[in-house]
Amino acid sequence: MIMNFTSFIEPNQSGSRVSEQELNNKLFEWAIGLHRKALKISGLWLYPKSTKWYIKILMDLQSPFFAASVIVFFSTPEIFALIRVWSDLTLVVDNFLSFIPVFSGQIKLLVLWTKRKAISRIINLIENDYLELKNDSERKIMIKYARIAKIMMVCGVANISYSIIVFHGSVAFGFLFRTITNLTDIPTHLISTQSVYPFDITVGYRCLIIRILHVILCFITGFYYTEIDVFFGISILHSCGQLKVLAKEINYLTDSCQSSMIKILLKNIVLRHYRII
């Protein structure tokens, strides 16, 4: 997943080195491929018009469906619990520790869902920058910053997975990372979050289903919460890489070019990097 630069310039099966365009395409796919998949899973990827209409509709409704599911099955029971414990500050804080991050994640997702065209334009601009790379030195710079973004994504998902396993898995051992109260909890049917449901959770497998549903919804929320933050990180890191490429070009320009050519070449450099200046 996190590759060295030499892996991009190895000869192909015919024994010849790949062309500059193929190399840039391969580098772009490596740099953005993982994040593209994450955006698709989160429902934030804008599919082309050529996509079949029913698939496009399903993908367009993916993010609202995720947000609605979390709000109905996770946040709403916590609101009911919050009403019951409002007079106890300790219990209110326990409620907010899980309610606020999850609910803010839904707001973040829906806001980004309405800005999918802007996300698509950013991805297109990043692709154009990668396709314009001219030499190995520039590619090494961009790989350095792209690798940081990939590490951020992997570490973020690993952190979310670990937190969910510890937080929700504690129920299996009979203890919770919050205050247990008879206002919202049933000692024999504990739930990891402070929740109140409008039905009896002690009947059949309802409690087990709720626990499993909480794990799934928390992982989905944590995943796109992480992906959204990492996407902004990608944009910043990509700009940092492009600015470093720009500085390298200007240094080379002033050191090796004649004064009569500097104005023309500087204009070309500025036109290439105008989006981040």
**What DSSP designation does 16 have?**
S
From the list 173, 255, 263, 241, the residue with the least C-alpha distance to 32 is: 241
From the list 230, 32, 244, 225, the residue with the least C-alpha distance to 120 is: 32
**What DSSP designation does 202 have?**
T
Say how many C-beta atoms besides its own lie within 10 A of residue 228's C-beta. Answer: 20
Are the beta carbons of 139 and 23 closer than 8 angstroms? yes
Give the separation between CA 2 and CA 117, rounded to whole angstroms: 29
- How confident is the prediction for the chain on average, in pLDDT? 82
From the list 276, 171, 170, 163, the residue with the least C-alpha distance to 226 is: 163
Instruction: Identify the pLDDT of residue 77.
Output: 92
Give per-residue pLDDT as tens, 253-265: 666 655 556 666 6
Give per-residue pLDDT as tens, 236-249: 898 888 888 877 77
Instruction: Identify the pLDDT of residue 17.
Output: 54
**Average pLDDT estimate for 12-26:** 68
Say how many C-beta atoms besides its own lie within 10 A of residue 88's C-beta. Answer: 14
**Average pLDDT estimate for 1-29:** 65
Instruction: Identify the pLDDT of residue 9.
Output: 54
Kindly report whether the global pTM for this prediction surpasses the value 0.75: yes
Say which amino acid occupies 188: T
- Its sign, for the CA torsion 115, 118, 122, 127, is positive
* First and final C-alpha spacing in the chain: 31
**Average pLDDT estimate for 23-29:** 87
Are the beta carbons of 198 and 102 closer than 8 angstroms? no
Instruction: Identify the pLDDT of residue 44.
Output: 86
Q: Examine the pLDDT at 196 and tell me if it is beyond 80.
A: yes
Residue 239's Cβ-count burial label (10 Å; 0-12, 13-18, 19+) is middle
Instruction: Identify the pLDDT of residue 154.
Output: 92
Instruction: Identify the pLDDT of residue 172.
Output: 81
Of 55-69, 175-189, 190-204, 254-268, give the lowest mean pLDDT range: 254-268
Q: Examine the pLDDT at 267 and tell me if it is beyond 80.
A: no
**Average pLDDT estimate for 86-115:** 90
**Both tokens of residue 62?**
């993916």
Give the separation between CA 25 and CA 31, rounded to whole angstroms: 10
Of 3-7, 29-33, 34-38, 258-262, give the lowest mean pLDDT range: 3-7
Q: Examine the pLDDT at 5 and tell me if it is beyond 60.
A: no
Packing angle between helix 116-131 and helix 89-113, nearest 10 degrees?
A: 60
Higher-scoring residue by pLDDT: 33, 14? 33
Q: Examine the pLDDT at 117 and tell me if it is beyond 70.
A: yes
**For residue 210, how many C-alpha atoms fall within 13 Å in the half-sphere facing its CB?**
26
Give per-residue pLDDT as tens, 146-178: 999 999 999 999 999 999 999 888 888 878 888
Percentage of the chain exceeding pLDDT 90: 19
Are the beta carbons of 245 and 272 closer than 8 angstroms? no
Q: Provide the pLDDT confidence category of residue 189 given band limits of 50, 70 and 90.
A: confident
Q: Examine the pLDDT at 18 and tell me if it is beyond 70.
A: no
Higher-scoring residue by pLDDT: 261, 138? 138
